[in-house]
Chain A
Amino acid sequence: MEQMNTQRGATWLRLLANGAAPAHDSPSVKACDAQLAGQPARYIAVVPDPAGRFPRARAGEVGLVEGWQLARAVQEVVAMDREAAVKRPIVAVIDVPSQAYGQREEAYGIHQALAGAAGAYAEARLAGHPVIGLVVGLAMSGAFLAHGYQANRLVALDDPGVMVHAMGKASAARVTLRSVEALEKLAASVPPMAYDIGNYASLGILWEVLQVSDPAQPNEVDLALVRHTLEAALADILQDTARDLSGRLHGKHRQASRRVRELLATQWEAAT
């Protein structure tokens, strides 16, 4: 599953950034400066690095180095535009099979590295940088939290190889004391438990789901559609005064989230 998808991030990054050379020499986090809607933008992807120093983060996983490199790539954009009236957009090209699972990772605080990345994206968004997440492959768990989940708008390709989830099936079964079969059966009837992009889209978190002919090897039409959608997402962010993630709360499966916020807002003032 993981091997199947890991080239997608690099492929889409190259196409969207028109082959621009990466801004840094990091082998696993590529940040490329190119245009979006006729203005400068930064495109960022995590890609496999078979020669990576940390053995558990060689197949495109977000590990210690990747988390902090993502943070640096995003912080740099915020620093570049600190005095600028127009903040350049950031496009996270997402194909991340998981966070790195390893003893070294926990020892050196992978949670902190991923916080570096998530925090940098959130700060960029709050500073006025339009942030768009484009899911072209896997968007799993902590890796997605670090790379893309803080975006103003999320766009995903409609394809069986595109999946969003909190944990791989075998581990999720072990932790919840279920068999993989029982887990799959439940996932079919409980939308947030499903692994496919259709069920995920029903949660109302995605801004757009796109049909392309070949997500692994996109043709000109696919590329044009994705470019057009990124431009539309950018326009939608620019006309929106909200810099938070409230746009994700409107789906039919987010009733509990809305109810909680209504109650809190009413009771908050009364409690002072």
Chain B
Amino acid sequence: MTTHIEELLQRDSFIERSARSRAKALLDAGSMRELAGPFDRLHSPWLAMQQLVTQADDGVVVAKGLLAGQPTVVLAIEGAFQGGSMGEAGGAKIAGALELAARDNRRGIPTQAVILFETGGVRLQEANLGLAVIAEIQSAIVDLRRYRPVIGVSAGTVGCYGGMSIAAGLCSYLVLTREARLSLNGPQVIEQEAGIAEFDSRNRALIWGLTGGEQRFATGLADACVQDDTAEVRATLVGLFAQGLPERHRSERADDFLAALARVDTGTQSTPADVRTVYAKGAQ
């Protein structure tokens, strides 16, 4: 018990860090340069138009540097600003940086990328431009992952939702914590669209049971479930980058997933255990 408490006290929480602090902690000491940072004043023009609070970095940190000596760009979403939602400026920062990383690779510099997903998805105050930049982020991930891995991390506590969960599904590898949730439609939206009988948005055990980091890892929809510990997150990334590209990206495995889905009993709702059974056989 004592050792457990000491361990907790000594742990350097990744979740409690801001986006900027997370990026800095992942990159090799002294190597981080922030691009298109707060002094460039990239406030969202669309939030301002609606008299809503803006932020000079629009909630996204672009950090270029080295990870274990390898050229790396970290794209960190700040969950504390507008729920980590993707607006035009913040989304363009992610897409634009990934595009430059892909260009680096075409020029012989093997730049790799980490995306820290803390996001509810499209920023609804910028609706269609949020959706458009997410399509551009997805395009850039698919381009870059032809050369070097793009690794997604969702630590919590916001989680990874909406169009950005699709972007996470395009990553070469995905690292989650037990606190993270990875899901397309948020529980509130499902309840709104389909009724409380379909999904009770107040049932937290159900939400984490089906979409939490532990379950996503156990069902093969994520590659690692790590402790909320900065050193462990970093070491996991270094290890995955060292593996290089996966033989096939998860998003390319249509046949495996279709075969697994054919085994689902759709007559009832599925439990977390059902999902583990279905995905244990063939989708892995």
Contact = CB atoms under 8 A, between A and B. Distances in A.
Interface of A: 53-56, 64-65, 68-69, 71-72, 75, 98-99, 101-116, 118-120, 122-123, 125-126, 141-142, 144-146, 149-150, 164-168, 170-172, 174-176, 186, 189-194, 200, 203, 205, 244-245, 248, 253-257, 259-261, 263-265, 267-268, 270-272
Q: Give chain B's interface secondary structure class.
A: helix
Task: List 9 tightest A-B contacts by C-beta distance, closest first.
Answer: A115-B169, A111-B165, A119-B251, A122-B142, A271-B33, A260-B92, A71-B254, A192-B129, A101-B193
A259 to B, nearest CB: 7
B194 A102 contact: yes
Nearest to B86: A166
A119 B124 contact: no
Interface stretch (B6-14, B233-241, B264-272): B264-272
B258 interface: yes
A120 B194 CA distance: 29
B250 interface: yes
A79 B164 CA distance: 28
A118 B170 contact: yes
B219 interface: yes
Nearest to B219: A109
Contact of A268 (B64, B190, B216, B250): B64
Given A144-B131, A172-B124, A104 B192 contact: no
A164 B122 CA distance: 13
Contacts of B170: 115, 118-119
Nearest to B83: A175
B182 interface: yes
B204 to A, nearest CB: 14
Contacts of B81: none
Contact of B194 (A101, A142, A254, A265): A101
A196 to B, nearest CB: 11
Interface residues of B, number: 89
A263 B166 contact: no
A107 B130 contact: no
Contacts of B167: 115
Contacts of B42: 256, 259-260, 263
Nearest to B187: A106
Contacts of B138: 115, 118-119, 122, 145, 150
7 contacts: A71-B251, A72-B258, A110-B185, A116-B253, A145-B135, A167-B127, A170-B192
Contact of A255 (B45, B128, B131, B133): B45
A54 B268 CA distance: 10
Interface of B: 33, 35-36, 40, 42, 44-46, 49-50, 62, 64, 71, 88-89, 92-93, 96-97, 99-100, 109, 120-122, 124-136, 138-140, 142-143, 146, 162-163, 165-170, 182-186, 188-190, 192-194, 198-199, 210-211, 216, 219, 221, 249-255, 257-258, 261, 264, 266, 269-270, 272, 274-275, 278-279
A82 to B, nearest CB: 14
Contacts of B269: 103-104, 107
Nearest to B167: A115
Contacts of A149: 131-132, 135
Nearest to A265: B100
Given A112-B251, A192-B128, A145 B261 contact: no
Given A111-B183, A203-B129, A69 B89 contact: no
Contacts of A102: 190, 194, 198-199
Contacts of A115: 138, 166-170, 250-251
Contacts of B143: 122, 126, 244
Contacts of B132: 149, 203, 205, 248
B124 A256 contact: no
A108 B278 contact: yes
Contacts of B129: 192, 203, 253-254
A193 B255 CA distance: 37
A93 B183 CA distance: 27
A107 B270 contact: yes
Contacts of B264: 53, 104, 108
Nearest to B271: A107
Nearest to A56: B194
A166 B128 contact: yes
B36 A166 contact: no
Contacts of B35: 263-264, 267-268, 271
Contacts of A165: 127-128, 131
B68 to A, nearest CB: 17
A54 B122 CA distance: 26
A251 to B, nearest CB: 10
Given A102-B199, A192-B127, A200-B128, A263 B64 contact: no
Nearest to A193: B127
A145 B139 CA distance: 10
B198 A101 contact: yes
B163 A75 contact: no
A25 to B, nearest CB: 13
